[in-house]
Structure 1
Amino acid sequence: MSNQPPDRRRSSELRMNGGSAALPLGRLSPGALAAQAREAIRTGYWARLVPLYGALAVLTHLPSFARTVWSPDEGYLATQARMLAGGGVLYDTVVDRKPPLLPWLYEGAFALFGSTSLWPLRVLAIGAHLATAVLLAAIARKRWGNRAGAAAGALYLLVSIGLSPEDSQAATFEVFMLPATAAAFWFAQNRRWGPAGAAVAAASLTKQTGGAVLFAVLWLLRQDSRRPGGSRPRTSLAALAFGFGLPVTVIALSTGVKNFAFWVITGSSEYASLDGAWLNMLGRAFGNAAILAVAALGLLVPLARRWRRVREDADLWIWFGSSVAGVITGFHFFGHYYLQLIPPLVLLGVGAVARGAARWKPVLVYSLAASAAFVALGFLWPHQPLQHAESVAAEVTKDTKPQDSVLVWGMHPEMYWLADRKPATRYLTAGLLTNYAGGRDPESVGVADGMANAWKTFDAEMSEQLPEVVVDDSAGAPYAPKYIAPMRALLAAHYQRVGTDGSTVIYRLKDAQTCRVPA
């Protein structure tokens, strides 16, 4: 037995293992964890790496600050946040088919920094990417050593913008989901099942498909229980279930269990369906996959050289496979869905390079070049959709008072936020009332296809207070008023056409005295 003091022996063990713990983190006491943190700082690995990652995260996401809003999802979240700040109630007067964490984050950022700009959310999104990079570096470092760890975080940041800029530069659900998914895997790899469950819950409460990482966590738990000296499966499962169940239960109770279950789980059944224009959806699926493949080609080539050795990283392949299932869910294949694939894909590629399938230099050089091209693309991306939304919003602002309500009949809720006007309905897109989404067949879009009781609620809202202005942004889509009888009747009875902006038609209430309609 060594005569060294315990702390010195522990430091020696840490140095012998490249600065990582000689024992799984789940077995270390708080004092040992503190000693590990001190040793990590002393050796300088993270002290050097994290600032470098921070600079890389900022550089790769500089285009995110180049425009007011990148996507309708940002507009939806920003409008929701204003409604919540104005007294709205989540899953009652403020609704969406998404979990609550990101609307609350937007609301909190607006409370601190004001609601006229999304720059605080863009900064937080960069922080989310940085956290994901650090966690992936920690996972790779424990598996393949210091160099692989450093490369994993850097390669994640380079590949994370490898989609169309409106998908990769926006501060939306997938970006904030990724740190929690990486944390869940990191905790599971280190046999800390309670925190792993909590991280899975955090991912799921940001976006439902974030829960896909649970399959990899369960695989790691199963493998650990089979090892000599491994944890007891029942105890580990109980810790995992408690870690997951506690935050989900608390949030479900705080928002109302029935409403939470409907809007987060059961209410998405119509959206996540096989109905759709299959050629359109398949084109989007393969197109976005091809864009990501170009960005990640430096990792895909060495990975392809080792495809026969899948068992070496079965847990990572399960994480990747479950993430693919998350992308497929709903059969819409929007580009931002593919962000979920990047963390496990990067780790698989790094593992292949670390085992000799390629040299680091060409992988990093290609990834740097591809990332530079995507950064340039972010600055050059067409502004026409945003310019149109800003133009319509300016017309709405000019034609209404701050206290007036507005109805945007379309799929661009950012118009509410840009105009700084209160939505006349809790349904911020026509999709919630008609089941429309990108690629949906006209046959599956209509009044009867909307969410349960949505039209009844909408009629009650219109009976209480008609909006001063209606913006018809349908542009001949399957949910255009000419196809939707209630909207057609509403416009005919109470509104007159007062202007157009491109394909968008603006209607104004015929008589201010009709603002209140008897129920």
Structure 2
Amino acid sequence: MLTEPLPSPRYAATPVPLGGRSSDGYWRRLVPVLAVLAAITRIPSFRHPLWNPDEGYLAVQARILAGGGALYDTVVDRKPPLLPWLYEASFALFGDDSLRPLKLLAVLAQLLTAVLLAATARDRWGDRAGRTTGVLYLLVSVGLNPEDAQAATFEIFMLPFTAAAVWCAGRGRWTGAGLAVAGAFLMKQTGGAVLAPVLWLLWRSAARPWPYRAQLLRVALALTLPVLGAALLTDPSGFLFWTVTGSGAYAEFTGSELHVLFRALANTALLCAACAGLIAPVVRVLRVARTGAADLWLWLAASVAAVLLGFHFFGHYYLQLLPPLTLLAAGALQVLPRDRLASALLTSAGACGLFLLWGMLAPRPELAHAQLVAAEVRHRTGPQERVLMWGMHPETYWLADRTPASRYLTAGLLTNYSGGRDGPHVGEKHAMAGVWPVFLTELRERPPVLIVDDSRGKPYAPEELPTLRRLLAGRYEPLPDPVDGAVLYVRSPGGSADPGDPADPEDSEDPGDPGR
């Protein structure tokens, strides 16, 4: 029976440079292996133009920003600005008609995450643990629905920052740790969860109160200054509203509880299947030995809390769990017999192969639908004409190469619909504060030549929204033939009815609200 703790972390006393020892070429041997593995595990990502609506949303945002738009003003989202800026930079360098450069950057992001996790494990438990961690992370990184694991979206680019934060904190590099936490937060708000293990490591490393206060100040400044800078580069009030204060209804638990519960269970089961080779050694060592890895458990717990936040349980949320889980597994495998390492690697490799096969063979009906609608939109509109896609597929704008008629790229921001949440908590009165007056002003000042109702029976359909229903009835008429279920509306000859204010007084909030 195992009774000894895991080997104590040794990085504080004998840190190993990330560049490796010049005499052993550790990194020269490991990094190419990890690079090949990162490329293999991301092959399915290149199969489709895009994998999910988040990629489409980012692509449309980037085009608007490149055309002189302003984030949190002429285009809005609930996310921080770092990834939209990255998409914009990629489009400026390589053109905006393909996401392949972003997919390549996602490969590099996964490689960097694996290298940083390997460096953290090597500092703690030695060379073999470093190799184990890097390989295991990449093998399990694809262990979700391909539209979650293969998309070049927020979590993929957030993970290198979270891994860097823990690595820097383990080395006592507190400014670097704070900057990494800021980068994670600016990629996606839940990335800030990595601050918990950083503060734990800071507290554990402090020998006297004064150095502790100085180190804490360095972390605080390194974290807050980039966030404040991002707010100033956009719009401070808009940044605060769209990334923090404006999403209360989105984070509510009520609405389609059974649907959300099923999604949570399904994605948890998928992740457990992918991580079967990791979970077994972690549970084994946790049951019979002290782990000596409180910061990693805290990191995992904070990441679990981040997944739970908002009660949506989308698959890509679960990617945040993989770095701490991989490190815990690598630490556990240092205590267990060596044959357990081979078993963990083989199990993880087998699961990885199955998920890659899924990614290569799975059909993408929603992408096919968006492509059909986009082709029809291109046929019926000119390049300079604005259109409104009323639905949850902003990628249609990008596929059709048409400019949105509104800063709100999905119906979700105007109705609180998201991922199957329906019932009494979807509608105009559940929208983000102040958005409907702005939306109506946009449609009055620059009416779209074409409106596509892509609700297809969802609870945000125009017949459920009095204001939008009046707008369509007064100014537009439907074309006789829907496109794969989507109804196209063109302007009525002589149509002049004004939609007026939102039907529910709760929607007519202060027009100066940051929702503008």
Both proteins in one fold, TM over 0.5: yes
Aligned counterparts, 1:14-93, within 5 A: 23=13, 36=17, 40-93=21-74
- Pick the aligned partner of 1:371 from 331, 352, 374: 352
Residues 380-403 of structure 1: CA deviation (Å, up to 9, x unaligned) = 111211111101000000110000
Indicate if the aligned counterparts of 2:18 and 2:119 stay in contact, CA closer than 8 A. no
The corresponding residue for 1:401 is 382
Aligned equivalents of 1:107 and 1:70: distance in 2? Answer: 18
Cα 1:311–1:399 change in 2 (3 A) is same
Secondary structure of 2:482's match?
strand
Secondary structure of 2:246's match?
helix
Aligned equivalents of 2:168 and 2:349: distance in 1? Answer: 30
Query: Does residue 417 of structure 1 match 2:408?
Result: no
Letter of the structure 2 residue corresponding to residue 382 of structure 1: P
Q: Once structures 1 and 2 are overlaid, which stretch shifts more, 42-51 or 326-335?
A: 42-51
Indicate if the aligned counterparts of 1:275 and 1:441 stay in contact, CA closer than 8 A. no
Q: CA deviation at 1:22?
A: 8.0
Identity, % of aligned positions: 53
Residues 267-301 of structure 1: CA deviation (Å, up to 9, x unaligned) = 11111112221111111111101101000100111
Aligned counterparts, 1:82-231, within 5 A: 82-225=63-206, 227=207
Q: CA deviation at 1:510?
A: 2.1
Query: Does residue 504 of structure 1 match 2:486?
Result: yes
Aligned equivalents of 1:311 and 1:232: distance in 2? Answer: 28
Aligned equivalents of 2:441 and 2:493: distance in 1? Answer: 20
Query: Does residue 334 of structure 1 match 2:314?
Result: yes
Q: CA deviation at 1:117?
A: 0.5
Aligned equivalents of 2:70 and 2:249: distance in 1? Answer: 24
Q: CA deviation at 1:41?
A: 4.2
The corresponding residue for 1:13 is none
The corresponding residue for 2:294 is 314
Aligned equivalents of 2:411 and 2:360: distance in 1? Answer: 30
Secondary structure of 1:406's match?
strand
Cα 1:230–1:132 change in 2 (3 A) is farther
Letter of the structure 1 residue corresponding to residue 95 of structure 2: G
Indicate if the aligned counterparts of 2:291 and 2:332 stay in contact, CA closer than 8 A. no
Indicate if the aligned counterparts of 2:374 and 2:399 stay in contact, CA closer than 8 A. yes
Indicate if the aligned counterparts of 2:116 and 2:160 stay in contact, CA closer than 8 A. yes
Aligned equivalents of 1:173 and 1:163: distance in 2? Answer: 15
The corresponding residue for 2:327 is 347
Q: CA deviation at 1:514?
A: 7.0
The corresponding residue for 2:265 is 286
Aligned equivalents of 2:365 and 2:425: distance in 1? Answer: 29
TM-score normalised to structure 2 length: 0.91
- Pick the aligned partner of 1:485 from 466, 478, 481: 466
Aligned equivalents of 1:90 and 1:38: distance in 2? Answer: 38
Secondary structure of 1:268's match?
coil
Aligned equivalents of 2:280 and 2:18: distance in 1? Answer: 36
Residues 61-95 of structure 1: CA deviation (Å, up to 9, x unaligned) = 10000001100000000000001011111111110
Aligned equivalents of 1:212 and 1:517: distance in 2? Answer: 44
The corresponding residue for 2:246 is 267
Cα 1:419–1:388 change in 2 (3 A) is same
Aligned counterparts, 1:239-278, within 5 A: 239-278=218-257
Aligned equivalents of 1:516 and 1:406: distance in 2? Answer: 18
Aligned equivalents of 2:22 and 2:424: distance in 1? Answer: 61
Aligned equivalents of 1:311 and 1:51: distance in 2? Answer: 31
- Pick the aligned partner of 1:447 from 428, 447, 462: 428
Indicate if the aligned counterparts of 2:470 and 2:499 stay in contact, CA closer than 8 A. no
Cα 1:37–1:177 change in 2 (3 A) is closer
Aligned equivalents of 1:115 and 1:160: distance in 2? Answer: 27
TM-score normalised to structure 1 length: 0.91
Aligned equivalents of 1:401 and 1:138: distance in 2? Answer: 53
Indicate if the aligned counterparts of 1:468 and 1:515 stay in contact, CA closer than 8 A. no
Aligned equivalents of 2:80 and 2:36: distance in 1? Answer: 31
Q: Pairwise CA RMSD of aligned residues?
A: 2.1
Aligned equivalents of 2:304 and 2:298: distance in 1? Answer: 10
Which structure has more helix as a fraction of its residues? Answer: 1
Indicate if the aligned counterparts of 1:65 and 1:122 stay in contact, CA closer than 8 A. yes
Secondary structure of 1:251's match?
helix
Secondary structure of 1:496's match?
strand
Secondary structure of 2:477's match?
strand
Aligned equivalents of 2:279 and 2:19: distance in 1? Answer: 37
The runs of 5 or more residues in structure 1 that have no matched partner are 1-19, 26-32
Aligned equivalents of 2:315 and 2:20: distance in 1? Answer: 41
Cα 1:515–1:180 change in 2 (3 A) is farther
Residues 358-400 of structure 1: CA deviation (Å, up to 9, x unaligned) = 6211111111111111111101111211111101000000110
The corresponding residue for 2:370 is 389
Q: Once structures 1 and 2 are overlaid, which stretch shifts more, 72-81 or 252-261?
A: 252-261
The runs of 5 or more residues in structure 2 that have no matched partner are 1-9, 502-516
Letter of the structure 1 residue corresponding to residue 31 of structure 2: V
Q: CA deviation at 1:113?
A: 0.5
Query: Does residue 235 of structure 1 match 2:217?
Result: no
Letter of the structure 2 residue corresponding to residue 289 of structure 1: T
Indicate if the aligned counterparts of 2:449 and 2:491 stay in contact, CA closer than 8 A. yes
Letter of the structure 1 residue corresponding to residue 75 of structure 2: V
